[in-house]
């Protein structure tokens, strides 16, 4: 008797509901912890706390720097709390109405783009993970080659112009449809984490490749789907270059480009002399920190929703006795 069933659509094996703990070895056997376990726990706790502190402090610094007087930040007076608190950085950022168009555009491009990414990348990764598919070697080689060699900016620009995607939403979505890096990672996951025996069973039952992929592989791959979706989404979110080169209308610019132009509007380069140089510089520093917060917050809010896909344990072929 096993706990796996393949009635109709593959039912995703349920991890037995234990007391909120996700640590595997505590699931079934309720052994009491030995001394070495406690020591291990203690060591781990110390390490984790140390890591959190080391990571957390600079992050905290960014938050308080975005509220502080930039002069005080520069001379090192800002350590644990904001000094000379003011919201000028943020008012300058949000006073610019383009920021809301920026947010809107980025959300559209990121979601639409990621959707296309997943639809194109995952099936391809699956197909290329099939060892019996002989052309996969040459295809992978040709794909990997493009990670290193490219024609550069100008040929790409001319191409986009010719197919008419310049200065439109599609330039954010189409050219980047496949990231070979993500493809390789997804392919590697399919190769190693889905046991071939499942395919045997599926074949015996007359399932085609597509059927197998959709009904069995995908449901079991929630972890890698979440990771690749995250990578693609963040790639779209942080993309500054596409908007810079290929977009003319300010109304189509995504968030990163809007933020950069706000930052630049408050900066001068070292060739600009005069008191404007000194004056503008001061707020540019503060805006720099604020920009990070503004552009990252949505991502941070989104992440916990994806996290649960990484933490679920997968039980394939659980056996008893």
Partner 1 sequence: MFINKTWLDKLGLKMPTTWDELTKVLTAFKTQDPNGNGKADEVPFNMRRIDTTGFSLWNPFVLLNSLGITTSFAGTSPSFQGIYVKDGKVGNFLESDEYKSVVKYLHSLMEQGLIPADALTREDSAITADTVSDGKTAKSGMIVGWATTDFEKLQDQYVALPSLKATASTPDSEVTWDASQDLTELSNHAIAVSKNAPNKEAVYKVVNALYSEKVSIQQYYGDIPEDVTSSDNSTYTVNDRCFDSSTKDPCKATADRFAGWIPDSATIKNDKASEALREADSAYTKAFANVDETKDVMPIYVRPDVDDQTTITNNNTAVLNYALTKTATWIQKGGVDADWDAYVKKLDSVGLTQNVKLWQKYYDEYTKN
Partner 2 sequence: MTQSATVASVAAGQTQVNPGMQDATQIVPVAAAATSSKRRKRRERHPAMPKHGSLLTRLGEHFKRYWQLWLMVTPAICFIGLFAYVPMYGVQLAFRDFVPSKGLTGGPWVGLKYFRQFLESPMFGNIMKNTISISLWTMVMGFIAPIILALLINQIGSTKVKGFVQTITYMPHFISTVVIVAMINIFLTPGTGLLGRFLGDTSLLGNPNLFTPIYWVTEVWQHVGWNSIIYLAALSSVDTALYEAAKVDGARRFQLIRYVDFPTILPTCGILLILNMGSVLNVGFEKVFLMQNALNLSSSEVISTYTYKIGIVSNQFSYSTAIGLFNTLINFVFLVIANAISKRVSETSIF
Which 34-73 positions form the footprint of partner 1 (CB under 8 A)? 70-73
Restricted to residues 161-180, the positions that interact with partner 2 (CB under 8 A) are 174-178, 180
Stretch of 8-16, 165-173, 184-192, 270-278 contacting partner 1, by CB under 8 A: 270-278
Selected binder of partner 2 within 95, 97, 132, 275 (CB under 8 A): 132
Tell me if 290 contacts partner 1 by CB under 8 A. Answer: no
Residue 154 interacting with partner 1 (CB under 8 A): no
> With respect to partner 2, which residue has the nearer C-beta, 177 or 251?
177
Q: Does 50 bind partner 2 (CB under 8 A)?
A: no
Nearest to partner 1 of 53, 95 (CB atom): 95
In the list 14, 17, 32, 204, the residue contacting partner 2 (rule: CB under 8 A) is 204
Which residue in 2, 257, 282 sits closest to 109, CA to CA? 257
285 binding partner 1? (CB under 8 A): yes
Distance CA 212, CA 228 (A): 20
- 267 near partner 1, rule: CB under 8 A: no
Binding mask 53-92 for partner 2 (x = CB under 8 A): -xxxxxx-xx----------xxxxx-x-------------
3-class DSSP state of 60: helix
CB atoms within 10 A of CB 18: 13
Subset of 230-249 contacting partner 2 (CB under 8 A): 230, 234, 238
| Residue among 109, 126, 246, 283 that touches partner 2 (CB under 8 A) | 126
Query: Between residues 150 and 164, which has the closer beta carbon with respect to partner 2?
Result: 150
Contact with partner 1 (CB under 8 A): which of 8, 151, 274, 304? Answer: 274
Number of residues binding to partner 2, judged by CB under 8 A: 138
Tokens of 246: 């290929």
| Least separation in angstroms between CB 99 and partner 1 | 19
Q: Does residue 135 sit in helix, strand or coil?
A: coil
Between CA 184 and CA 98 the distance in angstroms is 37
Distance of CA 267 to the CA centre of its chain: 30
Interior angle at CA 78, CA 75 and CA 79, nearest 5: 120
Distance of closest approach, residue 69 Cβ to partner 2, in angstroms: 14
Report what 105 binds from partner 2, partner 1, none; CB cut-off 5-8 Å by kind: none
d(CA 200, CA 215) in angstroms, rounded, equals 14
C-alpha dihedral sign at 282, 284, 289, 291:
positive
The residue within the footprint of partner 1, chosen from 94, 281, 298, 299 (CB under 8 A), is 281
Q: Which is nearer to partner 1, 273 or 319 (CB)?
A: 273
146 exposure class (CB count in 10 Å sphere: 0-12, 13-18, 19+): exposed
Distance set, CA 200 to CA 169, 208, 311 (Å) = 43, 11, 28
Task: Check residue 279 for interaction with partner 1 (CB under 8 A).
Answer: yes
CA distance 92 to 259: 10
Residue 307: both structure tokens together: 């996290």
265 is written with which tokens?
């509007």
| Interactions with partner 1, residue window 92-121 (CB under 8 A) | none
Whichever of 144 and 251 has its CB closer to partner 2, that residue is 144
Three-state secondary-structure class, residue 125: helix
Q: Rounded CA gap, 26 and 236, in Å?
A: 39
> Which chain residues interact with partner 1 by CB under 8 A?
70-75, 88, 268, 270-282, 285
């Amino acid at each position: 008797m096993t706990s796996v069933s393949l009635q109709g659509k593959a039912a995703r094996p349920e991890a037995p509901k234990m007391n909120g703990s996700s640590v595997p070895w505590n699931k079934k056997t309720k052994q009491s912890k030995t001394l070495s376990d406690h020591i291990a726990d203690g060591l781990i706790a110390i390490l984790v706390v140390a890591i959190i502190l080391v990571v957390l402090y600079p992050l905290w610094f960014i938050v308080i720097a975005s509220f502080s007087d930039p002069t005080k930040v520069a001379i090192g007076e800002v350590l644990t709390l904001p000094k000379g608190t003011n919201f000028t950085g943020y008012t300058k950022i949000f006073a610019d109405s383009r920021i809301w168009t920026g947010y809107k555009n980025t959300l559209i491009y990121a979601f639409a783009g990621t959707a296309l990414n997943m639809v194109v990348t995952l099936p391809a990764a699956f197909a290329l993970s099939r060892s019996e598919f002989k052309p996969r070697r040459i295809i992978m080689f040709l794909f990997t080659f493009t990670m290193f060699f490219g024609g550069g900016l100008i040929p790409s620009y001319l191409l986009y112009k010719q197919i008419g995607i310049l200065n439109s939403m599609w330039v954010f979505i189409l050219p980047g449809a496949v990231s070979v890096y993500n493809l390789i990672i997804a392919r590697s996951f399919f190769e190693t984490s889905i046991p071939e025996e499942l395919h045997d069973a599926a074949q015996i039952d007359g399932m085609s490749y597509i059927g197998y992929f959709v009904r069995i592989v995908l449901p079991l791959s929630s972890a890698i789907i979440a990771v690749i979706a995250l990578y693609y989404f963040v790639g779209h979110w942080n993309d500054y270059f596409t908007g810079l080169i290929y977009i003319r209308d300010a109304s189509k610019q995504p968030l990163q480009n809007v933020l950069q132009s706000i930052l630049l509007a408050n900066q001068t380069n070292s060739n600009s002399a005069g008191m404007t140089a000194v004056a503008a510089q001061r707020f540019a520093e503060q805006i720099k920190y604020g920009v990070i917060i503004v552009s990252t917050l949505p991502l941070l809010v989104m992440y916990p929703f994806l996290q649960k896909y990484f933490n679920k344990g997968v039980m394939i072929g659980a056996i008893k006795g």
